Structure 1
Amino acid sequence: MSATKRIVVFGGNGFLGSRICRAAVARNWDVTSVSRSGRPNWLSITSSPTPPGWSHSVTWERGDIFRPAQWTSLLYGADYVVHSLGILLEADYKGVISGRESPISGLARAFGPAPAGAANPLERVRRLEEESEKSETKKEEGGGGGGAPQLTYEMMNRDSTILLAKEAAQAGVGAFGFVSAAAGAPVLPSRYLSTKREAEEVVAREFPGMRGVFFRPPFMYDKSRGVTMGVAAMATAGSVFDGLTGGRVGGFLGSMVMKPLKVDVVADAVVEALADESVKGPVEVPQLEQLAEQAWRKTML
């Protein structure tokens, strides 16, 4: 009898991350979720405030991705680690609400050039680790841990991924899954996608001994989030229109002309890909569907 697999999902209390946890529990894996808030707010990611039965099989841990000392111990003995964190816009939401920043300035920053000092991801990750150690030391000495930094695409989509991959490789994790994206969208800055692609490139290059799997899902939907159903319908229509025009609008509309996928399909594909040692590198939309079907067939046996 094979040993129980262990998976640690960063962002496991989110829309996709929680479904990845569910799919892993269905395989009787040992599942740990790491996020800043710990347990999910179920009403924000499902249609009910009541925790589903499978959630009681998950260990819900609190941890800041930029403070490795809080979570590195959880990686040892894990077979798989998944990064399912990210931001869509960089605007300082709390600043906007409090009046410290206008929505226009937030959007201007998001659509502006990459911030200075972001050219070398590995060097930036090293500095993040040093800053984290200083912050933890200050906190232990009673000086407080300092405020949370303003999150950028470079930090969340790229640097946090590289940081987690680095720690996972050092812990001897067999496979690292990163939830990337299939394409950008007209309402998102180009840096949203470019930072994800850069994360894929750096992880593959710098940690070759660990199987890197980079999932590139399109827009994801679920009936528990009503707004996603309307967007999914528009994306489906865009996909049909793009096909009729020979792909002429795809470059401009990005993910809005790609066939959307149900979030459960993507989650099942993620877990199936991690379990299949032949899967490595970018996983595009058609392969996501194939992997999800492969996972479904196994449940029928």
Structure 2
Amino acid sequence: MGRAPKWDAVTSSATPPAWSHKVTWERGDILRPATYAPLLKGANFVVHSMGILLEADYKGVLRGQESLISGLRKAFTAAPQPGNPLERRVTGADGDIRPPETREQLTYENMNRDSAIMLAKEAAQENAAAFVYISPPAERPCYRLEAESTIAREFPGMRNIFIRPPFLYDSSRPITMPMAAMTGVGAAFNGITGGIFSNIMGAAGVKPLKVDVVAEAVVQALHDEAVKGPVEVPEIEKLAEKAWRSTML
């Protein structure tokens, strides 16, 4: 069994939140399906909620677990484009889904696209009723669309839900607060100008959302069988509001 996270690294307090005691914590490696596949047995719903913005282990650099030079080398080393992970032969005792040539590199593709596709595959094999993929930002829509289209095509037996949030912020991650403020200004400007700069501004032109809002929307979407396919920002907000109202009854 795994350990609970270090709470002051993921929330604003070192004290575990009340709900954390209702969770069974397990350890796994998203890039090695063999480490988590047994945990999916009997699962009704499976949610993929991880990814990176930079092609380097920037968290490892910030925590002193990796040198800055090593992190920069990973970030700027050109990596091959290995394509659909379902077409690769996963070999070796660890079952790492990364090709050998990118084994030492955390690329945007393997963290945001490939891990989602392989998790969906494992979920489908265990007959999960629904699968949620929280898509990466729209700045790299090709990877998002590749993941979504592959999951929808290869695993039609599951109700696949593709949550497409904008920039997410939370007080537990102080760096996200000023970034959210700037994004909010961009969204306001985009609204005033009628959205004519949407293609240029990308995610910077969309109102940011608090992490909790997206989490509530995901839970609501899983329990509403009418929800499937891409879920954009307006629907995310509606689902979150519906979830909030249900707690008031």
Q: How far apart, in 1, do the equivalents of 2:16 and 2:41 lie?
A: 28
Say yes or no: does 1:223 pair with 2:177. no
SS in 2 for 1:130: coil
Question: 1:203-242 alignment to 2 at 5 Å?
Answer: 203-242=151-190
Q: How far apart, in 1, do the equivalents of 2:29 and 2:70 lie?
A: 25
Q: Evaluate the alpha carbon distance shift between residue 79 and residue 122 of structure 1 in structure 2; reply closer, same or farther with a 3 A threshold.
A: same
Name the amino acid aligned to 1:284: E
Q: How far apart, in 1, do the equivalents of 2:3 and 2:146 lie?
A: 28
SS in 2 for 1:212: strand
Name the amino acid aligned to 1:243: G
In structure 2, the gaps of 5 or more residues are: 96-102
**Superposition TM-score, scaled by structure 1 size:** 0.73
Q: Could you tell me which of 176, 180, 195 is aligned with 2:131? A: 176
Q: How far apart, in 1, do the equivalents of 2:38 and 2:12 lie?
A: 34
Q: How far apart, in 2, do the equivalents of 1:79 and 1:92 lie?
A: 32
| 8 Å contact from structure 2 (residues 56, 71) kept in 1 | no
Q: How far apart, in 2, do the equivalents of 1:296 and 1:170 lie?
A: 33
Q: Could you tell me which of 76, 82, 93 is aligned with 1:108? A: 76
Residues 206-233 of structure 1 show CA distances to partners (whole Å, capped at 9, x for unaligned) of: 0000110011111111223222221111
SS in 2 for 1:59: coil
SS in 2 for 1:252: helix
In structure 1, the gaps of 5 or more residues are: 1-33, 137-147, 185-189
Q: How far apart, in 2, do the equivalents of 1:256 and 1:71 lie?
A: 35
| 8 Å contact from structure 1 (residues 81, 168) kept in 2 | yes
Q: Once superposed, which parts of structure 1, at least 4 consecutive aligned residues long, lie more than 4 Å away?
A: 92-97
Greater Cα offset, 242-251 or 149-158: 242-251
Q: Evaluate the alpha carbon distance shift between residue 68 and residue 182 of structure 1 in structure 2; reply closer, same or farther with a 3 A threshold.
A: closer
**Could you tell me which residue of structure 2 aligns to residue 135 of structure 1?**
94
RMSD: 2.4
Q: Percent identity?
A: 56
| 8 Å contact from structure 1 (residues 86, 157) kept in 2 | yes
Name the amino acid aligned to 2:80: A
Name the amino acid aligned to 1:180: S
Q: How far apart, in 1, do the equivalents of 2:20 and 2:68 lie?
A: 38
**Could you tell me which residue of structure 2 aligns to residue 145 of structure 1?**
none
Q: Evaluate the alpha carbon distance shift between residue 283 and residue 236 of structure 1 in structure 2; reply closer, same or farther with a 3 A threshold.
A: same
Q: How far apart, in 2, do the equivalents of 1:300 and 1:294 lie?
A: 10
**Could you tell me which residue of structure 1 aligns to residue 113 of structure 2?**
158
Q: Evaluate the alpha carbon distance shift between residue 278 and residue 257 of structure 1 in structure 2; reply closer, same or farther with a 3 A threshold.
A: same
Give the aligned length: 239
**Superposition TM-score, scaled by structure 2 size:** 0.87
Question: 1:27-38 alignment to 2 at 5 Å?
Answer: 38=3
Residues 60-110 of structure 1 show CA distances to partners (whole Å, capped at 9, x for unaligned) of: 00011222222212111111000111111113556895365473x54434x
**Could you tell me which residue of structure 2 aligns to residue 66 of structure 1?**
31
| 8 Å contact from structure 1 (residues 220, 260) kept in 2 | yes
| 8 Å contact from structure 1 (residues 80, 274) kept in 2 | yes
Name the amino acid aligned to 2:94: S
